[in-house]
Structure 1
C-alpha cells in the first residue's frame, strides 16, 4: 500500500467494534497497559469514567483508608497519584445515628466498620459497605449459638471467586486439655444468614489476614505460620482448617521488634512479602498448591530511602527494620512501605524502584490499602 493511499484512507478496511466488545477486550489488560492505551482515543478514555463500563475495567487503587486513633472520628483517604476522586470514603452515605463509624477491615473494595462508641465489638454492631457504589448493610442481630463478644471479625470478599461476601467472627476460650476452643460464626451475604461452627486449636491466630479463592488466611500472633479456613456452606457446622508455615525467616520476638511480613492476594493466589535479614532486599512468594512457596520477586531496597543502613537495634537490644511492609499489589506493581525514620508512608514502584509519598505521619492504625469495586451487590442497599 502506498503512502498516499494511507493518507487518503484508500485500501484500508475499518471495522467498528461495539463498545461492549471493546470494553471486554480492554478489561483483560493489566492495569499498567490499560493506563497507556487510554491515550489512544477519546472514546477509550471515556470508558474509564463511564459508571456502566468502569466496573469491568482494571481497577485503579485509591490509596490508604485510615483513622487517627483517639484523635477524632473521621475516616480519611491518603490518596495515590492515580486515585479516583469521586468516591465518598468518609462513608457519609451510611446513617450513623448517635455513633460514628470506625473502620475495622477492608477486602477487595468492601469495608467492614463498627459504630464507634459501643463498649464492645459485637457482630450485631457491624456494617459492611461499598464506598464506590454507596451501598451498605448492617449485619443482622439474630445469630445461631451463643453471642460472641470481644471477637475478631474478618471481612472476606474475592470477586474472582464469588460475587458474594462473608464475615467470619471468631472468639476463643481456653480448654482444660490446653489450647483454645474457637467459636466461629460465618455470615453469608447470598441469603443473609449466619452459620455457627466449632473447632479446636492450640494457638490463637489474630494477625494479618487475607481472603483468596474461598480461603481465609490469618497470621499467627507470634509463630511464623498461617491458619487457613475454608469458606463453609450455609448448612455446614464444621470449618475445614489447616496450618501453613510461612517462608523466609521466623520473626522471633526475643530478637526482632517488627511485623512478620505481609499477605496479599494476586489473581486468585496467596502471596507473602518479607524483608531479608539485612533489610536491603525484599522477597515476594506465591503459594503453589497447598503448602509450597515459590519466590516470584526479589526487590532491592538498597538506597531506596537514601540510607545504606536499614536494620537497627533499639535501646533494649531488639533488632528492627527501618521500613515495614504495610501492603503490596503485584497486579499493579506497588508496595506500600512505612519509613520509621522519616515518619512517612510511601508507595514503591516495583518496575521503576521509585518512592512516592502517601502520608506524612505513621500514627497507629496505619491504614488499609483500598482498591474500589464498582459492581453492585443485591444484599447491600443504597
Structure 2
C-alpha cells in the first residue's frame, strides 16, 4: 500500500539500485514499473536491459542461435531445449517483446497444430490448439503479438490464404486469455506476408507487393471485432512495375512510436522515419552506408534486368541507436551499425550458400505466463 503513494522519481531511484537481472524481473511486476524502463526521461538512470540477435540458418535441423546477450546469463535458453521437438526441429517464425513463435511441423497442413509460443527467459511454453484444417492448397502465416505495456496476454493472428482465381485471405485470432481461436474475423483479397510489428495493441503488417501497411486492432475476446485501416509507407514502392526486386524496408519502434527504415534508390543511404500522428512520416535519420561496406555501388541487376540492393536491413533499434545489416555479396556478414558513431562492426559470419532462415531482435522478458494461460494450454 505504501508503494502506491511513492513519487515516480523515488521509485526510479529504488529500481536503479537493483542488479540487472533483478531489475528485469521487477519491471514485470506492474505496468507502471515497466513503463519507467521505456520512458526517455527515466531510462538513463536505470540499468541497461541487454538484448540479442536471434537467427536460424536455412539448413534442415539447424538450431536457433543467439548473439549479443552476456554469455554468463544461462537463464536465456534460446536453444529451447525445454520444448519437446518430437520428430521435427523447431523453426523460428516470430519474436515479440521476449516471446517466440516457433513451428514443430514441417508441412503447411500441420503448421497451426504444431505452433508453440515460448519464453526462453522463464522456460515456459504452450502449444497452440488446433484449428480446423483448411484446403490442402491453403497457406497459413502466423503473427505473434505481445506487448506487456498493453496487456499481459498475447495474441496470434492467422492469415490463411487460398488461391481462388485471385487470392482469398481469412484472418483468425488466437486469444491466450482463454486459449481459443476465433472464427474468421476479416477477409481480404490481398496477400499480407511481409514484415510485421505489434505496438500499442495494433498489428502492423506490410503488404507483400503494395507499398502500404495494414493496421489491425487487437480484438476484444467478447465482441471479437477486428478494426482495420490502411497506412501508406514513405519512401519508394518496389516490385516489378518499378523494376525493383527487393523486400520493402523494415519496421521498428522507438519509445512506443512506429518507425520505418528503407534504402534510398541508390542504396548508399538508409532513411529512418517515425510516424507522427495518424499518417505523417518524419525523417529521423539519414545513414551513409559507403564506409560500412567499403564500396560505392550497392545496386545490382539480376538475370531478368530487375534491380536489387546487395545488402538487407534486418532490424533496427533506435533506443540503442543500432541498425543490423546483412551483406549478401560474398559471405553473409551480419553487421551492427552504430547510428551515433556511423561505424559498423561484424557480429556474425554465415558461410556462402547458407542463408539466414529467420532473424529477429530479442529482448528478454522475465514475466511469467498468467496461470490461466498455462491451465488453458493443459486443458487443450
The TM-score normalised by the length of structure 1 is: 0.80
Three-state SS of the structure 2 residue aligned to 1:248 is coil
| CA distance in 2 between partners of 1:164 and 1:279 (Å) | 40
Comparing 85-94 with 185-194, greater Cα deviation is found at 185-194
SS of the equivalent of 1:120 reads helix
- Give the total of aligned pairs: 342
Q: Which residue in 1 is equivalent to 2:217? A: 230
Who is 1:312 aligned against? Answer: 300
Structure 1 segment 1-382 matched on structure 2, within 5 A: 24-25=12-13, 44=17, 47-50=19-22, 52-53=25-26, 58-63=48-53, 65-77=54-66, 79-80=67-68, 85-86=73-74, 87-118=76-107, 120-141=109-130, 143=131, 150-173=139-162, 180-254=167-241, 255-343=243-331, 344-361=333-350, 363-378=355-370, 379-380=373-374
Partner of 1:124, secondary structure, is coil
Q: Does the CA-based 8 Å contact 1:129-1:380 persist in structure 2? A: no
Give the secondary structure class of the aligned counterpart of 1:376: coil
Displacement of 1:179: 5.7
The answer to which of 106-115 and 288-297 deviates more is 288-297
Query: Would the alpha carbon gap of residues 301 and 253 (structure 1) be closer, same or farther in structure 2, given more than 3 Å must change?
Result: same
Contact 1:160–1:267 (CA<8 Å) still a contact in 2?
no
Q: Structure 1 unaligned segments of length 5 or more: list them.
A: 1-17, 28-33, 35-43
Q: Measure the CA separation in 2 of the matches of 1:99 and 1:153.
A: 18
**Partner Cα separation in structure 2 for residue 150 and residue 180 of structure 1:** 11
Q: Flag the 1:23–1:72 CA change in 2: closer, same or farther, 3 A.
A: farther
Q: Cα gap change, 1:244/1:83 in structure 2, threshold over 3 Å: closer, same or farther?
A: farther
Shift of 1:22: 7.0
Give the deviation of 1:129 after TM superposition. 0.3
**Structure 1, residues 167-189: CA drift from partner, whole Å, max 9, x if none?**
011213467xx865432221112
Return the index of the structure with the highest Cα Rg: 1
Q: Give the secondary structure class of the aligned counterpart of 1:297.
A: strand
Q: Is residue 210–residue 264 contact of structure 1 (8 Å, CA) maintained in 2?
A: yes
- SS for the counterpart of 1:190 is coil
Give CA-to-partner distance per residue, 1:181-237, whole Å, 9 cap, x none: 432221112222222233232321111111111111111111111111111111234
Gaps of 5+ in 2: 1-5, 29-33, 35-46
RMSD across aligned positions (CA):
2.8
* TM-score after normalising by structure 2: 0.81
Q: For 2:19 and 2:11, how far apart are their aligned partners in 1?
A: 7
Residue 160 and residue 199 in structure 1: after superposition, are their counterparts in 2 closer, same or farther (change >3 A)? Answer: same
Closer/same/farther in 2, CA of residues 167 and 83 from structure 1, 3 Å limit: farther
Distance 1:146 1:169 in 2: 13
Checking the alignment, whether the CA contact within 8 Å between 2:336 and 2:345 is kept in structure 1 is yes
